[in-house]
Amino acid sequence: MRDEQCRLLIDMLRSQDPGLDRIIPAFVFRFNASYGDPSAVRWDVSKEEWQRYEFLGDRVLNLIVAQTLFAQGPVPLDEGEMTAILNTVVSNRSLDLLSRDQENWDLLIPLSIGKQNCYGERITAGAFEALIGALYCEVGFDDVAYFLNSILSPYLAACDPRHNAIGALQEFFQKRGDPLPEYTLVSRSGPDHKPVFVVQVVLPDQQSFTGSGSSLAEAKRAAAQVALARIDPAAGSNEP
């Protein structure tokens, strides 16, 4: 894209409301004006090039989401929690729902892919990934990361296990100015296909509670739930 068009696109990506419904038509218009048919309504790109952008966008998307999850605090997510959130947020189903929620999402599917009345989630998710790949090529990593973090933050928050008992327990002690609870893996037993994890949480006053589950994340939540029920019954009773 020409320099002026790139600057306009970057301004949109970094705006207070960088919604996909605004970004999609702006991107398609600017891309077509620079590289394709300026009169085309849809993204004017060959099927092969669209798939190349999709491939790149998938990798960029995974890296940005992984980087965001890794940097979250003050209580960091463990590997299992990060993996679970990442797999959910970047799944075809999640990206399909995110894309279909926009009025102009079909502008990202070039005629070279084929015009249909109804596209499957693999195509709509691929359209989102192709957009990310093309944006990365045009404006670079930082601006795409800013944009993605803006539009994906509600989805990341909804998948964050710290928004359940773990988060409630942390908030309880933060409000009092106390150190945060500490979690320790006590044991792992059972066969590989059906493991049982036991986690202990130690509170600032040295009280300790344990919880178990089929994953480390589940065991941590269970331990936090037991602790909450003891120190703050009202909060503990809200956990499903």
Q: Which of 54, 81, 106, 129 is catalytic?
A: 129
Buried b (16+ CB within 10 A) or exposed e, 190-202: eeeeeeebbbbbb
Q: What is the pLDDT of residues 13-39, one digit of tens each?
A: 999 878 888 899 999 999 999 999 999
- Please determine, looking at this structure, whether the domain spanning 164-236 carries the CATH number 3.30.160.20: yes
Of 44, 54, 58, 96, the active-site residue reads 58
Task: Tell me what the mean pLDDT of segment 185-197 comes to.
Answer: 88
Please tell me the distance from the alpha carbon of residue 16 to that of residue 160, in angstroms, as a whole number.
23
Report whether pLDDT(212) > 50.
yes
- Pinpoint the alpha helices (H) of the chain: 3-13, 20-35, 47-71, 79-89, 92-100, 121-139, 141-159, 165-176, 216-231, 233-236
Q: Is 58 a catalytic residue?
A: yes
Note if 138 is an active site residue: no
| Threshold 0.85, pTM exceeds | no
The fourth-level CATH superfamily of domain 3-161 is Ribonuclease III domain (1.10.1520.10)
pLDDT tens-digit map of 102-129: 778 999 999 888 776 678 889 999 999 9
Give CATH 3.30.160.20 domain extents, the chain: 164-236
Residue of 192 and 89 predicted with greater confidence: 89
Phi, psi (degrees; rounded to nearest 5) at 44: -95, 90
Q: Is-contact 139 6, C-beta < 8 A?
A: yes
Parts of the chain belonging to CATH 1.10.1520.10: 3-161
